[in-house]
Structure 1
Amino acid sequence: MSAARTALIIGGGIAGPVTALALQKAGIESTVFEAHPTAADGVGATLTVAPNGMRALAVVGADKAVCAVGQPVPGTVMADAQGTVLTSTPGLPGLPDSQTLSRSALYRALHDHAVAQGVKIEHGKRLVEVREGPAGVTACFADGTEATADILIGADGIHSTVRTLIDPAAPGPEYTGLLGFGGFVADSGVRPEPGHMTFSFGGRAFLGYWAVPDGRVCWFTSLPSAEPLTAAQVKELPAAGWLAQLRELFEGHQPGEALLAHTGADDLLCTGGMLMMPPVPRWYRGRMVLVGDSVHAPSSSSGQGASQAAESAVELARCLRDLPDPEAAFAAYEALRRPRVESIAAAAVQTNARKAAGAQAPAQRFFPTAEQMFGPVHRHSIDWDQPVSAA
């Protein structure tokens, strides 16, 4: 198989534009095909791009675009259910700030930056079939159009079509047993430390919160549920009912009780069942390969979904740059990435188990420092100029 010089990227969310930018840096021309008719404005809740994700974005020059729309929240506070601060760290030395922003703002920033750099993005292109041949791979879309290139990259998210084309027996996303909720609250009396995200452990539930620039407090938590409801299904039920459950869960919690008391039904954000990908046996086949959430979506408890997608996009481009045969490049890419992403996903599974245990969870006796908790993941960096060897 000859070296890849052109690529079709299926999916225009987070991984798609970053992959296109990385391939461009590697000298490979690509086009991004997105199923939705427009950019995903207003879709999704709030997320964080961690320092390692910002470093990966810096490799392709997209970090400044994200900083322009994000809120830097470098610091970390660990607290207990009584509001006692256990540790407070202004940020890990030598690393860029974590950036907190809405998922839709991240989509838009990456989309617009990629387009400004000459990346072609086509909307309304839902993949339905792929044909592989000795000279390339052809994507067939629902609107009757086709496109052909040397390789095809599935960046189409946790419900990936490309994943099932590579391996019809591939696993799908798994439910973590938790429903995600959050909100923005004004005048609650809660005063988070500026520039810090607080993680409150203990009691009957976990709570995260920080101050946003307009003076409100953004909070997030999870509610154990046997039923894996989607965000739409959660919203079909009265918000007052969900608030009642959350307020009962945080009764006596500082400051969860105050935050929930000042959250109105219209302020409640419901993200639905928290999903994650189990280990995927096949990352590639022939001229097709997976990147981002399509192959390694950790649960949101990891805080690493977007960052791992960016890392994988850059590493895939490095491998395609240095290894002429695409299958050899894909094998090297998987060897570089699988241990790291599966380790992060496994750690998030443990976090989810503690959250789902609720009141039965044992009291936490050891509160790690920010360096202990985040350092091994956040300090990861990619050396773009380092040549890649075959797996």
Structure 2
Amino acid sequence: MTPHHKLIPTSTNTLPTYTSNLKNNNQPTMKIIIIGAGISGCAAYLTLRKHLPPPPPSSPSQDHEFTIYEAYPSPSSPNPPNPTNKITVGGGLGIAPNGLRVLERLDESILRDAVTSGYMLDHTNLKDKHGKTLIQLPSSSSSNSGSNESSGSNKALHLLGTSRHNFWLCLHRRIPENVIVYNKRVARVISHPTQRNTVTFVDGSEPAYADLVIGADGLRSVVRQQSILDGEGDGPRYEGLIGIGGFLPTHTIGGIEPGSLNLHFSGTGFFGYFYATSSSTSPTRSSAYHVSEPGDTLVWWTTYSTPTPPDGRDVDVDDVKSQLKSRFSTWTDPLVLHIINSVEVQTMWPTFTTPELPTWEREGVVLVGDAAHALPSTSGQGASQALEDVEALARLLGHEVGVWYQEQVLGGMSGGSGGGVEGEKRAIQMACKRYVEMRMPRVKRILDTARGMQNSKRDMGGWGEWVMYWVMWVMGFFPGLVARQQQEVFDYDLPAEVERVLDRGL
């Protein structure tokens, strides 16, 4: 049996040679269902395709069977993907260096496309409401933070500022059209310890069956509620904060440092902005390791306290703009005031988090991304942690399934019996347990830190604002100490952590 601390090679050129004398010649291919075709679901498909070893030659098919079920219509459909709640769709997105490392290891062309459609940010300015910089922090990984698998491992990666839609497109366009089934809303996922799991649908159509079901269905995950929690437990928790944002052309805006992420704090709310595109003529436009000349789009957003979450289907945009001007009436930073007076509210998102779950997996049903852990925006890690989730899961699955395939080869040579669906399920369950063991502690540390920072975005009186500014001013004298925790998150070596988890065992 292969030692657990050695990763099974997943390249078709390095896989062990399978013989045709396997006892079980009707061994099925692995069936994988992904619920949700957002960032997490698309990334899950692509990483599994990279890391899963192909089925043995004795299988009826020489490829695993993938299906992604998406509740909303296709982007090419004449009907909008979310017609009743358009104001809450999209918005700006930051992908941290640790998330970009995942893309770099997955496919450098994906990283290049994502960077080309966004803008690289190498530092963060924490400012007061008058525009004074209190702390400046690096937004880059260390130059030696990449794994040995990353061709750019000796270079520091910066933070990518982009739009959620553009980044999703970079992933989505690489998935064959016949893999995604649109307008297919899942009703329930029924797990089974030794047989395939069952997925049922709201429209009453025939159930689907899969060895592995990945819940990438976001904050209000059906998979989490129906399979992991058995229909019990609390749903997403509103954190008492709302975010509003949009995009602006940059030709009327000046005074923004190239490569800067700007975050303003005050007692009446928070305001942030960054360039979201690079100049089309910049020679470093596609490089994740350089700051380019800015392009023509700015992302802005603001976060403030409100006791109840708004209903995006019934929002008076003019009233929202009026409230913004009133809320920021004591601010004097000219750039923020210019943005507020120029904005069109394009996105609105109440801040929800998911209650801490006892586990993210059950019998071959597993959660990734927001379905497992919706992080507040203060973490700056929502998309990056989703990317880490799917890579960790794919690597662990590739290892466990590869071990099982080798055992089938040895069993066939010695006259032993193949494991069929049960053996495959055991390998999947082991990988999912290791995934949860590996990922839960890291996500919890990031969530705890983000919740502490989140209080700086809540309404506070003049005294509270003064204390916050004083603390930030003092911290500004020790930027290395302030940045250390963030740097540990950015420099995370996921492949090495997978090796450690396999070496420890369960």
TM-score band by shorter chain is 0.7 to 0.9
Instruction: Tell me, in whole angstroms, the C-alpha distance in 2 between the residues paired with 1:122 and 1:270.
Output: 27
Q: CA deviation at 1:75?
A: 2.5
1:110 aligns with 2:171: yes
Aligned mates of 2:185, 2:217 — CA distance in 1: 10
**TM-score, L = length of structure 2:** 0.69
Q: Is 1:17 paired with 2:42?
A: yes
User: In the TM superposition, what is the alpha-carbon distance from 1:183 to its structure 2 partner?
Assistant: 3.6
Cα distance in structure 1, aligned partners of 2:336 and 2:49: 50
2:300 to 198, 219, 236: 219
Contact 1:193 1:211 in 2 (8 A): no
**Contact preservation (8 Å) 1:90, 1:196:** no
Which of these residues, 240, 245, 251, is aligned with residue 182 of structure 1? 245
1:106-185 equivalence runs, <5 A: 106-115=167-176, 120-133=179-192, 134-143=194-203, 144-166=205-227, 167=229, 168-185=231-248
- In the alignment, the residues of structure 2 paired with residue 101 and residue 240 of structure 1 have an alpha-carbon distance, to the nearest angstrom, of 26
C-alpha spacing 1:350/1:7, structure 2 compared with 1 (3 Å): same
State the Cα distance separating 1:70 from its structure 2 match. Answer: 2.0
Q: Does 1:53 align with 2:134?
A: no
For the Cα contact (< 8 Å) 1:274–1:299, is it kept in 2?
yes
Partner of 2:256: 192
2:188–2:222 Cα contact (<8 Å) kept:
no
Tell me how large the CA RMSD over aligned residues is. Answer: 2.8
Q: TM-score, normalised by structure 1?
A: 0.88
CA distance in 2, matches of 1:53, 1:3: 34
Amino acid at match of 2:331: G
1:200-224 residue CA offsets vs partner (Å, 9 max, x unmatched): 2345332211234454543211121
Judge which range, 201-210 or 105-114, deviates more.
Answer: 201-210
Paired residue for 1:34? Answer: 70
Preserved contact between residue 188 and residue 258 of structure 1 (Cα < 8 Å): no
Which structure's CA Rg is the greater one? 2
Question: Is the aligned partner of 1:201 residue 2:303?
Answer: no
State which of 306, 310, 319 in structure 1 corresponds to 2:383.
306
2:324 to 246, 254, 257: 246
Q: What is aligned with 2:443?
A: 341
Mapped contact 1:12–1:121 kept (Cα < 8 A): yes
Aligned in 2, Cα 1:149/1:252: closer, same or farther, shift over 3 Å? closer
CA distance in 1, matches of 2:297, 2:386: 30
Q: Which amino acid aligns with 1:176?
A: E
CA 1:139/1:121 → structure 2, altered by over 3 Å: closer, same or farther?
A: same
CA separation of 1:65/1:122 partners in 2, compared to 1, >3 Å: closer, same or farther?
farther
Give the direction of change, closer, same or farther, for the CA distance of 1:297–1:337 in structure 2 (3 Å limit).
Answer: same
Query: CA 1:358–1:231 in structure 2 vs 1: closer, same or farther (change >3 Å)?
Result: farther
The one-letter code of the counterpart of 1:195 is G
* 1:88 Cα deviation from its structure 2 partner: 3.9
Structure 1 distance, partners of 2:163, 2:244, is 14
Amino acid in structure 1 at the alignment position of 2:226: L
Structure with higher strand content = 1
Give distance in 2, aligned partners of 1:5 and 1:287.
Answer: 12
Further displaced range: 344-353 or 151-160: 344-353
2:127 equivalent among 74, 79, 95: 79
1:289 to 362, 366, 369: 366
- Which residue number corresponds to residue 282 of structure 2? none
Provide the residue aligned with 1:386 in structure 2: 499
Report the CA distance between 1:69 and its aligned residue.
2.1
- 1:14 corresponds to which letter in structure 2? I
8 Å Cα contact 2:48/2:394 also seen in 1: yes
- Identity score, percent: 29
Q: Per the alignment, in what secondary structure is the counterpart of residue 125 of structure 1?
A: coil
Kindly indicate whether the alpha-carbon contact (under 8 Å) linking 2:92 and 2:246 is maintained by their aligned counterparts in 1.
no
Q: 5+ unaligned residues in a row in structure 2: which ranges?
A: 1-26, 54-63, 76-80, 144-155, 277-293, 402-426
What is the rounded CA distance, in whole Å, between the counterparts of 2:377 and 2:28 in structure 1? 36
Give the number of aligned pairs: 383
Which amino acid in structure 2 is aligned with residue 317 of structure 1?
Answer: A
CA positional deviation for 1:329: 1.6
Contact 1:198 1:208 in 2 (8 A): yes
Distance in 2 (alpha carbons) for counterparts of 1:101 and 1:6: 34
Q: Which amino acid letter does the alignment assign opposite residue 129 of structure 1?
A: R
Shift of 1:303: 1.5
Distance 1:216 1:122 in 2: 33
State whether residues 5 and 27 of structure 1, in contact with CA within 8 Å, keep that contact through their aligned partners in structure 2: no
**Counterparts in 2 of 1:190 and 1:25: CA distance versus 1, 3 Å:** same
Query: Aligned equivalents of 1:12 and 1:222: distance in 2?
Result: 27
Moved more, 217-226 or 290-299: 217-226
User: AA paired with 2:499?
Assistant: Q
Cα pair 2:274 2:300 within 8 Å, conserved: yes
Give SS of 1:281's match: coil
Q: Tell me the amino acid that sits aligned with residue 483 of structure 2.
A: E
In 1: Cα distance, 2:299 partner to 2:133 partner: 18
Per-residue Cα deviation, 1:97-140 (whole angstroms, up to 9, x for no partner): 22222222222221112339xx8222222112334453312322
The 1:218/1:68 distance shift into structure 2, 3 A limit, reads closer
Distance across 2 between alignment mates of 1:307 and 1:320: 20
Offset, 1:193: 0.4
Contact 2:243 2:304 in 1 (8 A): yes
The residue that corresponds to 2:31 in the other structure is 6
Alignment partners' CA distance in 1, 2:137 and 2:455: 26
1:240 CA displacement:
2.9
153-162 or 121-130: bigger deviation: 121-130
Consecutive unaligned residues of structure 1, counting only runs of 5 or more, are none
SS at match of 1:157: coil
Q: Distance in 1 between matches of 2:234 and 2:100?
A: 30
